Structure 1
Amino acid sequence: MKRLRLVLLALMLFACEQEMAEQPRYDPYEAAPGWPDDQSARLPVPGTVARSDRLEPEPTTLPVPLTRTLLETGRKQFDIFCAPCHGKVGAGDGMVVQRGFPAPPTLHEERLRQVPLRHFYDVMTDGFGVMYSYASRVTPPERWAIAAYIRALQLSQHGEFDELTPTQRKRLEAQP
């Protein structure tokens, strides 16, 4: 009985064919007579959603409360991912620029001080110019934290002395 099972199993294994692997198919961009325009590559069906598409709407403003913890997270992530090109204060003079890489724009120019916070989030997500996308390296909450930190950097470099409280003025004047 045991031999009969082994013989049947062996016959079944030898009977298997590679029909699916050897079936007719088209290579990418190969001509396909009989299809519209004789093209094998077809457009997706209308309404098709890509796997990478986000189904939830993206917020246009900071989606979480602005806290010290958020800014600290933003600073840490900025130092890791942004400072090599943009520099510690966002002046566009990072270490890779000092080594010959093209300089990014300073984050303190008037044009970038006026853009909405979402602009920085989108640039980190999609890339811009020479800067490639950081979507695979920086999570969406971290991107928002970096964007908030960038805005804090911009405010720190363009604050007016008259806007300080008397306590802040005293502390600033006391520093060497």
Structure 2
Amino acid sequence: MNPRLLLPVCLLLGACKQDMADQPRYDPLENSRVFADGMSARTPVEGTVTRDADLAATPDKSPYPITMALLQRGQQRFDIFCSPCHGRTGDGHGMVVRRGFPPPPTYHQDALRKAPDRHFYDVITNGYGAMYPYAARVEPRDRWAIVAYIRALQYSRHAAAGRLPESLRAKLDAEAAR
């Protein structure tokens, strides 16, 4: 080997140290003398936000126009994710309840008819009581579609007869006369 190359090669090899790989570190939940509580693991600072957290403000009402397509999507998503417990009509008597699970509240009670849309969105997102959070399973747009469909279910049972078209009112009167 050329003696002129030997010195630079030796200098380069001497610079290859394992300092980065051999630095002091702790295994998860390992004891430490550094902190007063003796633990090496630290809880996150208050207000710490996960990297994938959605920081957009959630509106109080649906940001999407209520269209037939949105209602149909909401019905589809409701039938998949909600009806096993809440039932197809939102009365709280789904198939899971018939098998012994505690019934959820009916959507047709006054308190839930008066609840803001955001309440339903938040419950779908974060869960409530025995209800599992669906944030990881139902996209935000689909959550709003489900909320719109829940409102349609509520309206279907509590619509004022005076607000119906004349043809439907006549049909209701004929049914009541029977």
The bucket for the TM-score relative to the shorter chain is 0.7 to 0.9
Structure 1 Cα separation of the partners of residues 45 and 119 of structure 2: 31
Please name the residue that 1:153 is paired with.
153
Cα deviation per residue 1:60-118 (whole Å; 9 max; x = unaligned)? Answer: 21101111111111011101111111001100000111111111111111111111001
Please name the residue that 1:40 is paired with.
40
Structure 2 Cα separation of the partners of residues 136 and 56 of structure 1: 16
Structure 1 Cα separation of the partners of residues 92 and 125 of structure 2: 19
Structure 1 Cα separation of the partners of residues 131 and 168 of structure 2: 37
Please name the residue that 2:116 is paired with.
116
Q: Secondary structure at 1:107's aligned position in 2?
A: coil
Structure 2 Cα separation of the partners of residues 37 and 96 of structure 1: 46
Q: Which moved more, 1:151-160 or 1:162-171?
A: 162-171
Q: Which runs of 5+ in 1 are unaligned?
A: 1-11
% of aligned pairs identical?
A: 52
1:128 has 2:128 as partner: yes
Q: Secondary structure at 2:37's aligned position in 1?
A: helix
Structure 2 Cα separation of the partners of residues 46 and 137 of structure 1: 27
The residue type equivalent to 1:98 in the other structure is R
Please name the residue that 2:141 is paired with.
141
TM-score, scaled to structure 2: 0.79
Greater Rg by CA: 2
Structure 2 Cα separation of the partners of residues 65 and 147 of structure 1: 12
Please name the residue that 2:5 is paired with.
none
Q: State the shift of 1:23 in Å.
A: 5.9
Q: State the shift of 1:52 in Å.
A: 3.2
TM-score, scaled to structure 1: 0.80
The residue type equivalent to 1:74 in the other structure is G
Structure 2 Cα separation of the partners of residues 121 and 46 of structure 1: 26
Q: State the shift of 1:173 in Å.
A: 5.2
Stretches of 4+ moved more than 6 A in 1? none
Tell me how many residue pairs correspond in the alignment.
Answer: 161
Q: Secondary structure at 2:25's aligned position in 1?
A: coil
Q: State the shift of 1:165 in Å.
A: 2.0
The residue type equivalent to 1:90 in the other structure is G
Q: Which runs of 5+ in 2 are unaligned?
A: 1-12
